[in-house]
Structure 1
Amino acid sequence: MLITGKERKSIYCDKMVSLICTLQDHRDEVNWCAFSPTLLATCSGDKTIRIYNTNDFSELPFSPLSGHRYGVHCCSFSVCGTYLFTCSTDALTIIWSMATGEVTTKFEHPGGSPVRVCSLSPDSSLLLSGASDGTLALWDFHSKKLRKSKTVTEATVMACCFTPCGQMFVTGCTSGDIKVWDLDMKQLYAERDAHDMGVTCCHFAPQFHIDFSSVEFRLASCGQDSQLKVWIVSQHGATACEMKLLHTLTGQSAPVLSCAFSSDGELLVSGSVDKTVTVYNASDGVLLHTLKRHESFVTACAFSPTLPWMATGSMDKKVNVWRIADRDSGQAQSRNLSCQGAGRKLSGHSRLLVSDWSEEDVLAWLSEEGLEELVTTFTTNNIDGPELLCLTKETLSSELSIESVGLRGKVLRKVEALKAELTGLDAPDEFLCPITREVMKDPVIAADGYSYEREAIESWISAKNRSSPMTNLPLPTTLIMPNRSLKTAIGRWTATQ
């Protein structure tokens, strides 16, 4: 059946994006996310790479991977997911086995410059790395030998990726240029000042179009100019190449740090310094969703190649995992994951906010989640809803004396899933307090014009924070006013849940 452009637009506008779990294992900012058919990898300034199973987003036994001496900037899987490639300020690009978590190869960048980005060709035969000194290194993956290296810019190489056919690649740098190269590192085309103040990321859509005399690819790029752009890269013969701008997307108000196409090429996601994640229909550039669940700059985003998952990473040290599904089927399907539960209410504790839970509610939750062995421990320590939300690895170990590392990790993952489930995941964003990210009970308007939970903004101000939690600008006054209309709207919405 032929699907028209108008019908396709309708289909993708009807996609629902739901947060299913938040991973909080990194101790520093998350720099990159990557999916294989069965795994999710995340890397961080804390020098580690963490690997999760996409069945339930539990961490693999050999995770985290520790082999870099400095922060890890980028990670990428081989097509089948057998290997993971990571690069770091330590000038190394490391190849890891995903069967054992062991290092198989280390490539040191020529000149020892910090490596900012790496990319693997679609057939997994070539590995490309870009460095802070403006150099590229192209490695033969099978022989583990350097094929060619070259200085390609006077600026830092921040982005690189192969075309889907694997016969060309592009680079983006802090000077703002995007350049197209062949495998001999001969420059085929240069788009000067593609992004004012610098390119931050590039990604090709997996699909391409072959005409009688040319091949066309779609390339997404983003930069410090707060723009996400979609280009048509055309190759004519072996040496002729050009780029044409298709869309300029301005759904974010600050520098855009990351971008990625979905595996079908129909969706495009980007993450920004304004803390938002935007999802677009890649065909026509229509903004479908603006997601606001990160507390700091969104530095990474990726789609799963086989499942409806999307991952976003941030300087808040968190990785959010999202499900993209049709509105009429997403809720039912989302329950297949143990770490998610958007839209359902649990027996024994029907209140909307976890902070309202009694000790009995917590015990009912433990039983439902298969954590019956902790009932006695939680009862002895009088764990209620607020205490549950404050649990950490340290408190589980030292205060509750839970010796099993695996059990502590399971509890924390369940708690994070619970926060997403019962703190307003399905609520309109304007019903959520920007500070607590919970549905507000007593909303008030502050001098910055935003609404907050009364207790949260009063605590913020009493801690001598005279700046706005949303804008970081000074508050002209600390007076707050009740937002009665919003409180009424929240009450009506809550009554329908």
Structure 2
Amino acid sequence: MATLIHTLADHSDDVNCCAFSPSLLATCSLDKTVRIYSLSDFTELSYSPLKGHTYAVHCCCFSPLGHLLASCSTDGTTMVWDTRDGQVLAVLGQPSGSPVRVCRFSPESTYLVSGAADGSVVLWNVQSLKLYRSGSVKDGSLVACAFSPNGNCFVTGSSWGDITIWDDTMRCLYNEKAHDLGVTCCDISSHPISDGEHGSRCFQMASCGQDNKVKVWLILFADSLGVELRYKCTLSGHSAPVLACAFSYDGQMLVSGSVDKCVIIYETNTGNILHTLSQHTRYVTTCVFAPCTALLATGSMDKTVNIWQFDSKQPCAGNTVENESEVAVQNWSEDDVSAWLCAQGLTDLVGLFKRNNIDGKELLHLTKESLTNELKIESLGLRSKILQKIEELRMKMVSVSVAIPDEFLCPITRELMKEPVIAADGYSYEKEAMENWISNKRRSSPMTNLPLHSLMLTPNRTLKMAISRWLETQQKYGETT
């Protein structure tokens, strides 16, 4: 059962997008502003609304742990905000100056994608807030984007109707016409499934479009050479163009919003309609599930955002914290701890921990006594579970190693190389991956797409020795920590 628990009516024009972090809700509008609310009581934060865009704001999104918020606009920029105080960290201008329609952070917060009306797509480095790579689709505006949960690739959708899959070097892996009258939105479930045929791991993707359809696809990582997009089914229910779609964080539900003013919630596995919500009075432009609570936000051209709550608990993604790039636990913020609680199935404790300002340092110092006397947790079983999870966290801290240097990763597989070889393009690859590349009658460089003047592969012994020394260092580090 979905119950309407709150309506936000602060925007003075159409609501274009909503986004959740573990503790916040962001909304953006044609009125040029971004507004941020606390999930504890849906009050607007003191620094909201965020003002900086000079034209309509089309999309907003949080980094995985909610430290950053990105918003993009007709003014041709993507702005990055600090969610602690609402300060602008960067104004990223689309190189072409074209209106930016969509933006998304990668799961590990390494990249930020911005897609524009002229078909250009830019991959920004989040750490440096500088342009990393750029590309473009052949036809149409870029209006949709979603990252795979492993961060190795992302999908874009265009007004021309194409779905394109890119890797993190902006290499086009796959392209398919998905919706005859144009794609409007897409999302990828964070939970892998089996394709049911070959037993290989794949992810479910949903897309919707001007053709009134919601389609479900499978993204299969068939081999080290690329991916395959396989059509699964079409979900019925809407009588007009579908403008938004999103998976719940456990992948069990899929929501869509339409020009017919309805929000439909499907059971992903069966395609059955669980709920039809008809409270909006104009087009539904956005819908999104919260990561750590059983909440759904829907936004509309009626200038409102509706917050819905489900009777059954909405499970959280189990890797919310782990996907954030190498944040030491003792440096976690209160929001980081909230995300960790959700990932451990302890969502009910988020409010209690936030009220007591439990950050990473405090989390690691929690004891049976402090849980009982200070946090007033009476259940012996719950206290034991919390302490067990904290101990597991400590063990992970001991065993964790530093990030693998990028030059040690094969550009094709993005895995640590064992037998690196140098190709004619001057780049080093894992020997087996490059041999497979060539055996599939590919005569171009995986990195540059330029023709290879030779198919000879030369062992890179210097790089292999460097990788071996690095592995030895990591082993010694693990033994002494």
State the TM-score bracket (shorter-chain normalisation). Answer: 0.5 to 0.7
2:275 pairs with 1:271 = no
2:218 pairs with 1:232 = yes
Amino acid in structure 1 at the alignment position of 2:250? D
8 Å contact 1:280–1:287 — kept in the other structure?
A: yes
Amino acid in structure 2 at the alignment position of 1:217? F
**1:201 aligned partner:** 185
Q: 282-291 or 203-212: which moved more?
A: 203-212
8 Å contact 1:279–1:289 — kept in the other structure?
A: yes
C-alpha distance in 1, partners of 2:126/2:23? 22
Q: Deviations along 1:4-43, whole A, 9 cap, x unmatched? A: xxxxxxxxxxxx1000011000000000000000000000
* Residue of 133, 136, 141 corresponding to 1:148: 133
**2:274 aligned partner:** 288
2:299 pairs with 1:313 = yes
2:230 pairs with 1:244 = yes
For the residue of structure 2 that corresponds to 1:207, the secondary structure is coil
Classify 1:19/1:41 alpha carbon distance in 2 versus 1 (closer, same or farther; 3 Å).
same
- Quote the offset at 1:239 in angstroms: 2.1
Runs of at least 5 residues in structure 2 that lack an aligned partner in the other structure: 314-350, 352-481
Equivalent residues in 2 for 1:111-150 (5 A)? 111-150=96-135
C-alpha distance in 1, partners of 2:72/2:242? 21
Amino acid in structure 1 at the alignment position of 2:84? A
* Residue of 288, 291, 303 corresponding to 2:289: 303
Q: 202-211 or 133-142: which moved more?
A: 202-211
2:151 pairs with 1:166 = yes
C-alpha distance in 1, partners of 2:19/2:227? 29
8 Å contact 1:226–1:252 — kept in the other structure?
A: yes
Q: 230-239 or 131-140: which moved more?
A: 230-239
- Quote the offset at 1:280 in angstroms: 0.3
8 Å contact 1:35–1:305 — kept in the other structure?
A: yes
For the residue of structure 2 that corresponds to 1:323, the secondary structure is strand
Classify 1:102/1:159 alpha carbon distance in 2 versus 1 (closer, same or farther; 3 Å).
same
**2:72 aligned partner:** 87
* Residue of 304, 320, 324 corresponding to 2:310: 324
Amino acid in structure 2 at the alignment position of 1:147? Y
Amino acid in structure 1 at the alignment position of 2:78? T
C-alpha distance in 2, partners of 1:310/1:326? 13
For the residue of structure 2 that corresponds to 1:274, the secondary structure is coil
For the residue of structure 2 that corresponds to 1:73, the secondary structure is strand
8 Å contact 2:294–2:312 — kept in the other structure?
A: no
Q: Deviations along 1:368-401, whole A, 9 cap, x unmatched? A: xxxxxxxxxxxxxxxxxxxxxxxxxxxxxxxxxx
C-alpha distance in 1, partners of 2:124/2:67? 18
8 Å contact 1:153–1:173 — kept in the other structure?
A: no
For the residue of structure 2 that corresponds to 1:143, the secondary structure is coil
8 Å contact 1:189–1:241 — kept in the other structure?
A: yes
For the residue of structure 1 that corresponds to 2:70, the secondary structure is strand
- Quote the offset at 1:143 in angstroms: 1.4
* Residue of 26, 30, 44 corresponding to 2:15: 30
Q: Deviations along 1:346-371, whole A, 9 cap, x unmatched? A: xxxxxxxxxxxxxxxxxxxxxxxxxx
For the residue of structure 2 that corresponds to 1:307, the secondary structure is coil
2:275 pairs with 1:261 = no
C-alpha distance in 2, partners of 1:32/1:326? 25
- Quote the offset at 1:186 in angstroms: 1.5
Q: 279-288 or 209-218: which moved more?
A: 209-218
8 Å contact 1:213–1:237 — kept in the other structure?
A: no
Residue-pair matches, total: 315
C-alpha distance in 1, partners of 2:168/2:63? 19
- Quote the offset at 1:210 in angstroms: 6.9
2:33 pairs with 1:54 = no
8 Å contact 1:222–1:259 — kept in the other structure?
A: yes
Amino acid in structure 1 at the alignment position of 2:7? T
Q: Deviations along 1:216-256, whole A, 9 cap, x unmatched? A: 01101000000111100101223232111112011110000
Q: Deviations along 1:26-82, whole A, 9 cap, x unmatched? A: 000000000000000000000000101011101111110001000000000011111
Amino acid in structure 2 at the alignment position of 1:34? A
C-alpha distance in 2, partners of 1:209/1:17? 26
Equivalent residues in 2 for 1:332-351 (5 A)? none
Amino acid in structure 2 at the alignment position of 1:199? V
Q: Deviations along 1:245-273, whole A, 9 cap, x unmatched? A: 11201111000000110111101100000
2:171 pairs with 1:190 = no
8 Å contact 2:210–2:243 — kept in the other structure?
A: yes
C-alpha distance in 2, partners of 1:293/1:209? 34
8 Å contact 1:214–1:237 — kept in the other structure?
A: no
2:54 pairs with 1:69 = yes
- Quote the offset at 1:153 in angstroms: 2.5
* Residue of 115, 128, 142 corresponding to 1:157: 142
C-alpha distance in 1, partners of 2:111/2:194? 23
For the residue of structure 1 that corresponds to 2:5, the secondary structure is strand
Amino acid in structure 2 at the alignment position of 1:61? S
8 Å contact 2:3–2:309 — kept in the other structure?
A: yes
For the residue of structure 2 that corresponds to 1:234, the secondary structure is strand
Equivalent residues in 2 for 1:416-431 (5 A)? none
Equivalent residues in 2 for 1:92-111 (5 A)? 92-111=77-96
The percent of aligned pairs where both chains have the same amino acid is: 52
C-alpha distance in 1, partners of 2:117/2:291? 30
Amino acid in structure 1 at the alignment position of 2:59? C
For the residue of structure 2 that corresponds to 1:247, the secondary structure is strand
C-alpha distance in 1, partners of 2:194/2:264? 30
